[in-house]
Each structure stands twice: as C-alpha cells, then as structure tokens.
Amino acid sequence: MKEVPRMSTHSTLKSFLTVEEVAALLNVAEKTVRKYVYERTIPYYKIGGHVRFNEQKLLDWIAEKEMPAYAQRGRKRKK
C-alpha cells in the first residue's frame, strides 16, 4: 500500500484566504471581491460552499495585472 504524504495543517490553512482577507489585501470592498468571483476574473476555490483563495495564485494574479510605466513601454509622454 502506498503511503500518502501528509501536508502540515498549519501551512495548508495559511495558504487559503477568505473574501475578507482578499479585500483587505487588495484594498477594495468585499463586494468588489465577490463581483470578481461572480465574473470569474479572480482565481478562487469553492470549498464546502465557501469561497477561498490560494495565496500564491492570488499573488500571481495580482502580478499579471501590473501595467508597465510609460518609460518601460518605450513611449514618451506628451508635454
């Protein structure tokens, strides 16, 4: 019989965030986070009917949303 590796409960629980925690992280209202979930624009999980967010996937999603500065895109600003 194969032995299943056990995950530390502490590290597993810390990697999932609630709607409230994500709203605080993004500095937006909880209603906005729920809208993102409804529109499926933010990565999330449904666990037992509760919406949860994987911390690393959320940080990756945030990084994807970064807009380059004008200087980085090779454009000059109009005077």
- Asked, for residue 34, whether it belongs to a domain, the answer is yes
Residue 55 belongs to what domain range? 12-72
Q: Could you tell me which residue, 5 or 40, shows the higher pLDDT? A: 40
**77 domain-assigned:** no
Question: Among candidates 45, 40, 69, which has minimal Cα distance to 56?
Answer: 45
Q: Is residue 3 in a domain?
A: no
4-22: average pLDDT: 68
Number of neighbours of residue 12 by Cβ within 10 angstroms: 10
3-state secondary structure of 18: coil
What CATH number does the domain containing 60 carry? 1.10.1660.10
Domains held by the chain: number = 1
Within-domain flag for 4: no
Chain segment 40-50, per-residue pLDDT in tens: 999 999 999 99
Is 23 a domain residue? yes
pTM > 0.85: no
- pLDDT score of 79: 64
